[in-house]
Amino acid sequence: MSDYPLIVENLSFRYRDRQETAIRDISFAANAGEILLIAGASGCGKTTLIRCINGLIPRSYKGEVGGRILIHGEDTEKMKLSTISQKVGTVLQDPERQILGTKVLNEVAFGLENLGLSREEIYQRVDESLAHLKIQHLRDRDTFLLSGGEKQKVALAGVLAMRPSILLLDEPLASLDPASAAETLDAVRTLADEGMTVLMVEHRVEDVLRIHPERVMYMGEGEIRYLGEVDGLSRVVNYHEVKLPAEQIVQRAKRDPAPAEIRVLPGAAGPTSKEEALVRFEDVAFGYESDVEILHGINLEIKRGDVIAVLGPNGSGKTTFVKHAIGLLKPKSGRVLVNGKDTKESSVAEIASTLGYVFQSPSHMLFAPTVREELAFGPTNLKHPKDEIETEVKEALRIVNLSEYEQDPPLALSFGQQKRVSIAAILAMRSRILVMDEPTAGQDYQNYMNFMDAILQLPGFEAVMFITHDVDLAVIYANRVLLVADGRLVADGSPHEVLRDFSRLEACRVVPSSLLALNVNRFPQTGRFLRAEALAHV
């Protein structure tokens, strides 16, 4: 059996501060040259399994371990972490936690320097690694100024430079635009074809199926529920938890009752025609450095009742644009008005009572010792009455499905749970406009559908805007889509107007999904875009 690069036998683990086991009785072997896709709901134990294989459990995360892991026939219990890391490369879900270097070159070279390789070899491996991922142009850039997706690719380049024989990817697509995700997956397929063993944890199952993983493991409540060929997955998987291709969901959802219609943004009801725009951009231009302009001539209004999806490639200026709406950045020229007042004359705190912003990386937002205190912080600063704060916190926790974690430290939770805490923190503030950067990163299908449904039915919000790389989120929830590329607004219209032009989407690195294609085909009958579960009953 030692022909297998990786063998896991009867593996169980319970975190020191938790009652229940995170994973139990996990056994499997992985082949050289194989991509094993690991799917399952948030919190089912996928990340814990990865931490056991790369040695972080029990060295960094303490608790009770049972069973054993063999890497090339050697028990990891007897190996040093530095030895494991040369054989097992890991790319984390949140690239912010992995990047240490100030320049891309230094970051990718970091592991190689620790191995004491010669300068020549380091440069050669760095350049090969960057070329493999088609990011040579980032070589001399500051890591701080990269977009979330660019950071994700740099983190992967740093791992590839080490030339591990086993590669562990924990949601590598979470912050990538669809075209970058496709390129990253193609690179992973090439690595596997060259003999690397790849374990990939990913909620974007449909995207991964395109590169034909050899096998798929479906986990539920810390156990393996299915391990086998891809074709068998759709029969065993809960299609509410793991997002399957749209046609498969439609076939399965026909047997279930039709989903209930949700009443979107009840807080926006009322006369809207004569009202002033909530937010107005007037010819806004901006650059972080004086001679480099990132946003060029942005003009638009956000009105009551708008549910706006902002799509576009990594590094196109989407987050920069949104930060202008909330006053974190001020335009170099032009102006932004919130409730008719220029953001240059308003403090961020004043704007916060109108606009609540959820960052892309939860670690940029979370700081309090418990989830409860995290959620109470904003309303307390906005001087909400004490008894109201209690209600706001409870309500927000209920919406994001985290009520039982009220006393837990937010940074001890999984990435997906942290993301939900950061959203709940804004919900508790009762801002009138909710702005979210990548709200679904790290979320399973069920969680993101549930909390998007819940958010859009809240009585307090008058408008919602979200940046996303998930085209389906725009298809299902938006009534307006903005397409941003190279710092310009390329398109602004209804989902059907903007998303049916596949060639324009592809020019903006947005890859049409199976759900979008199905909706475009059915549009003559439906007259609007619907989720797959609803299309099953049309």
Structural tokens at position 62: 């303490």
Structural tokens at position 282: 């007037």
Buried b vs exposed e over 74-85: b needs ≥16 C-beta within 10 Å?
Answer: eebeebeeeebb
Amino acid making up residue 67: G
Element (H, E) at 297: strand 295-302
SS3 label, residue 431: coil
Nearest partner of 396 among 356, 366, 373, 427, judged by Cα: 427
Kindly compute the dihedral angle of the four CA atoms of residues 103, 198, 121, 99, in this order, to the nearest 10 degrees.
Answer: 20
SS3 label, residue 470: coil
Element (H, E) at 255: none
Q: Is the dihedral of CA 192, 196, 197, 201 positive or negative?
A: negative
Q: Cis (ω within 30 of 0) for the bond into 5?
A: no
What count of Cα atoms within 13 Å lies in the side-chain half-sphere of residue 532?
23
List 201's β-bridge partners, or say none.
38, 170
Contact 89, 160 (CB under 8 A): yes
Element (H, E) at 426: helix 415-429
Structural tokens at position 389: 């704060």
- Residue 371 placed within a domain: no
pLDDT at 1: 45
State the Cα angle at 264 between 362 and 473, rounded to 5°: 50
The pLDDT tens digits of the residues spanning 220-237 come to: 999 999 999 999 998 888
DSSP letters, 152-175, are: HHHHHHHHHTT--SEEEEESTTTT
The pLDDT tens digits of the residues spanning 47-76 come to: 999 999 999 999 999 999 999 999 999 999
List 167's β-bridge partners, or say none.
89, 198
Q: How far apart are CA 497 and CA 99, in angstroms?
A: 39
The reported pTM is 0.84
**Strands 166-170, 88-91: pairing kind:** parallel
Q: How far apart are CA 312 and CA 179, in angstroms?
A: 10
List 357's β-bridge partners, or say none.
435
Contact 465, 496 (CB under 8 A): no
**112 in the Ramachandran plot: left (φ > 0), alpha (ψ -120 to 50) or beta?**
alpha
**Strands 215-220, 35-40: pairing kind:** parallel
- Residue 184 placed within a domain: yes
Segments of 41-158 assigned E as strands: 63-71, 74-75, 88-91
State the Cα angle at 531 between 177 and 170, rounded to 5°: 40
The pLDDT tens digits of the residues spanning 446-464 come to: 888 888 898 898 877 899 9
List 333's β-bridge partners, or say none.
285
Range(s) of the domain holding residue 121: 6-237
Contact 133, 181 (CB under 8 A): no
Structural tokens at position 48: 């814990």
- Residue 389 placed within a domain: no
**CATH number, domain containing residue 221:** 3.40.50.300
In which residue are the tokens 């009770």 written?
64
Query: Crossing angle of helices 371-381/415-429, nearest 10°?
Result: 30
- Residue 218 placed within a domain: yes
- Residue 178 placed within a domain: yes
Distance (Å) of CA 261 to CA 453, 476, 501: 10, 12, 27
- Residue 161 placed within a domain: yes
Contact 453, 373 (CB under 8 A): no
Nearest partner of 472 among 511, 516, 435, judged by Cα: 516
Q: Is the dihedral of CA 218, 198, 174, 134 positive or negative?
A: negative
Contact 169, 101 (CB under 8 A): no
Structural tokens at position 86: 């040369």
List 480's β-bridge partners, or say none.
308
Contact 317, 324 (CB under 8 A): no
Amino acid making up residue 136: Q
Pick out the chain residues at pLDDT < 50. Answer: 1, 273
- Residue 350 placed within a domain: no
Segments of 106-196 assigned E as strands: 166-170
- Residue 316 placed within a domain: no
Element (H, E) at 360: none
pLDDT at 72: 96
Q: How far apart are CA 160 and CA 340, in angstroms?
A: 50
DSSP 8-state code for residue 441? T
Q: How far apart are CA 265 and CA 461, in angstroms?
A: 6
Amino acid making up residue 234: S
Structural tokens at position 71: 């890497």
Q: How far apart are CA 461 and CA 455, in angstroms?
A: 8
Please give the tally of structural domains in the chain.
Answer: 1
